[in-house]
Structure 1
Amino acid sequence: MGKTLSIGVLASGNGSNLQAIIDRIEEGVLPARISCVISNNVSAFALERARRHNITALHMDHRIHSGRESYDAALVEALREHDVQLVVLAGFMRILTPVFLDAFQHAVMNIHPALLPAFPGIHAQRQALDYGVKVAGCTTHFVDAGTDTGPIILQATVPVLPEDTEESLSTRILVEEHRIYPESVRLFAEGRLHVEGRRVVIS
């Protein structure tokens, strides 16, 4: 892997985790560059974030494609055109097919606002509160064909307070997301992540 990692980011919404990664790159602590940001949502603020930092911002509408595989093939082609080595999901609200995952094996990263394998899927913070857990948090992981089932990279914990609402818990978890997601990307950029079965070994 080259000295500077080339990242492609897929986002559907606000892109606050994208911003956290941009900030770490601009601070010089993350040896990477974001080569492109792609969104299936033309009004995603993530695209505006990219433009503000002179990063290529692409809207690729999934609705003009015949199916998931066709759209994913188009995504792969666009990412390849930008020499992307690592794909980072930042609130990308689509399930990726094997067409995509096979093209970037162990090179698609995501973050989830729960301590996986607990509370996968949507509304993880609400699930945690409903279950009555005392500790919540977030998890970075490599993406596989399942929903939030890929090998875990890093996790961070956040205490659940008696007065917590879904919004207040989400806000505190987001602080940790913005810390461990850039750190996970940095470990990848430095060639320190190795997948062995279900485990990610950090060297």
Structure 2
Amino acid sequence: MAGETQAKKLRLVVLVSGSGTNLQAMIDRIADGRLHAEIAAVISDNPDAFGLERAEKHGIPAVFIDYRKYSKKLPENIPWEKLPENFDQIVQSQRLFPHLHGSKLRERLARMVLAEQELVAIIDSYKPDYICLAGFMRLLSPYFVRHYQETTAEQNQGSGRELTGWRIINIHPALLPAFPGVNGYGDTFEYGCRFGGITVHFVDEGEDTGPIIGQAIYPIWPRDSLEEIKKRGLSLEYELYSQCLNWLAFGYVEIDQKQTERTVFRITDPGYKDFMNNLVELSMKS
């Protein structure tokens, strides 16, 4: 990066559900010195996720957490006493399930939070700076998101730094706020867009609604198939995700103090324009 200053080596925990190609891209870039980070652990909700094999191959702790043992619990078997004291407040403030109400909502969130309590305990044992979602196909409840906002504030007290509380990062295969949800590439393609995009963003309590760190676009040519645009988008994902982490390592991600309606971050890297131009060239070649 242009005008490089001393970077902090980030400590990451990566969550995956599938093949883990973004995880592999991080591993490769760490190995050749392009990503200023270390991966402390890889965690998956899928025991067959190839991402776990990738981690083990590179000597990274690989952990499986079984969400199913919580999702299959009957209402009468939910251990309500193990839920956090503020569970009622979590239910009242959640934005993930607007179609659910009453006991159905409480049961859905209870199962979710019980699994996340186990997940949080595992993540915290590795003491990461950031939690990176790389194809992790689970929604995260307010309990999980607030845990990392609050622990960040506690860790930073008296440090003189901005207490942002943003520690969870996701990559989404669409140009947010367009096409949130699990089918970003498919939705972009079916809508007939002339350009598609990818977004790296911080995670808040909504679904794909958190503040944007970085975005990139790619052209969709008239005869493209869905598989072709996925391939084009993935080539950008591998570059952008690691670059956003590097911006965090170098302190190049700052809150835009001019914004008042919502939290907006800006990139202060002197090499930002060159990097984005390179992504445009990459998207045209792929």
Structure 2 unpaired stretches of 5+:
1-6, 71-77, 79-110, 150-165, 257-261, 269-286
Match of 1:44 in 2: 49
Shift in Å, 1:70? 1.2
Q: What count of residue pairs does the alignment treat as equivalent?
A: 202
1:33 correspondence with 2:77: no
Q: Which whole-Å CA distance do the structure 1 matches of 2:182 and 2:127 have between them?
A: 31
Matches within 5 A, 1:173-184: 173-184=233-244
1:198 correspondence with 2:198: no
Q: Deviations over 1:140-176 (max 9, x none)?
A: 0001111111111111110011011111111110000
- Identity over aligned pairs, percent: 43
Report SS of the residue matched to 1:104: helix
Q: Which whole-Å CA distance do the structure 2 matches of 1:74 and 1:55 have between them?
A: 20
1:54 correspondence with 2:59: yes
| Larger Rg over CA atoms | 2
Shift in Å, 1:36? 0.3
1:103 correspondence with 2:179: no
Q: Please say which of residues 119-128 and 192-201 is displaced more in the overlay.
A: 192-201
* CA RMSD across the alignment: 1.4
Shift in Å, 1:177? 0.4
Matches within 5 A, 1:13-92: 13-65=18-70, 67-92=111-136
Shift in Å, 1:74? 1.3
Q: Which whole-Å CA distance do the structure 2 matches of 1:190 and 1:83 have between them?
A: 20
**Cα–Cα, structure 1 residues 14 and 76, in superposed 2: closer, same or farther, change >3 Å?**
same
Identify the structure with the greater strand proportion.
1
1:128 is matched with which residue: 164, 171, 188?
188
Runs of 4+ deviating beyond 4 Å: none
Code of the residue aligned with 2:12 in structure 1: it is I
Match of 2:214 in 1: 154
Shift in Å, 1:28? 0.9
Identify the structure with the greater helix proportion.
2
Match of 1:4 in 2: 9
Q: Which whole-Å CA distance do the structure 1 matches of 2:249 and 2:168 have between them?
A: 13
Structure 1 unpaired stretches of 5+:
none
1:93 is matched with which residue: 134, 137, 141?
137
2:232 is matched with which residue: 168, 172, 178?
172
Q: Which whole-Å CA distance do the structure 2 matches of 1:9 and 1:195 have between them?
A: 24
Report SS of the residue matched to 2:234: helix
Code of the residue aligned with 2:11 in structure 1: it is S
Q: Deviations over 1:25-84 (max 9, x none)?
A: 111121110000000100000000000110000011112235111111211111111111
Q: Is the 8 A contact 1:126 1:166 kept in 2?
A: yes
Code of the residue aligned with 2:19 in structure 1: it is N
TM-score, normalized by length of structure 1?
Answer: 0.95
Q: Deviations over 1:77-130 (max 9, x none)?
A: 111111111000011010011121112231111111111111111222221122
